[in-house]
Amino acid sequence: MATSKAKRVEAAKKAARTRKRNAALKAAEAARMAARRKRSRAAKRAAATRKKAAPRRKAPKRKAAKRRTASKRAAPKRKAAKRRTASKRAAPKRKAAKRRR
């Protein structure tokens, strides 16, 4: 035989350890996934009850609010920034020059 009995025994032990570890990791992963599913289902249930409790007030408000804030943020901010930077670039340079003289 090429490999000794001792080496084969050692390899078998190592394989057993690996199998055990893999099984433990798999179990841990399964537990994590189960917990995640449980949480998401609970959240879904909570959302459903919220919608049921006040459908007119709750559900549409969220979506509309997101859209409104995004549109408000986009255009005016850019315009204001352009105006501000232009005035800042022009005025302080002259002021600084006057102070130096």
pTM of the model: 0.39
Question: Per-residue confidence at 5, pLDDT binned at 50, 70, 90?
Answer: very high
- Is residue 89 within 8 Å of residue 82, measured between CB atoms? no
Q: Is the pLDDT of residue 19 over 80?
A: yes
Question: Within a domain: residue 75?
Answer: no
Question: Within a domain: residue 20?
Answer: yes
Question: Within a domain: residue 100?
Answer: no
pLDDT confidence of residue 52: 73
Question: Within a domain: residue 34?
Answer: yes
Question: Within a domain: residue 95?
Answer: no
Can you give the residue range of the structural domain that contains 14? 5-53
Question: Within a domain: residue 10?
Answer: yes
Cα 75 to Cα 64: distance, rounded to the nearest angstrom: 18
- Is residue 30 within 8 Å of residue 23, measured between CB atoms? no
**91 HSE (CA, 13 A, CB side):** 6
Cα 39 to Cα 44: distance, rounded to the nearest angstrom: 9
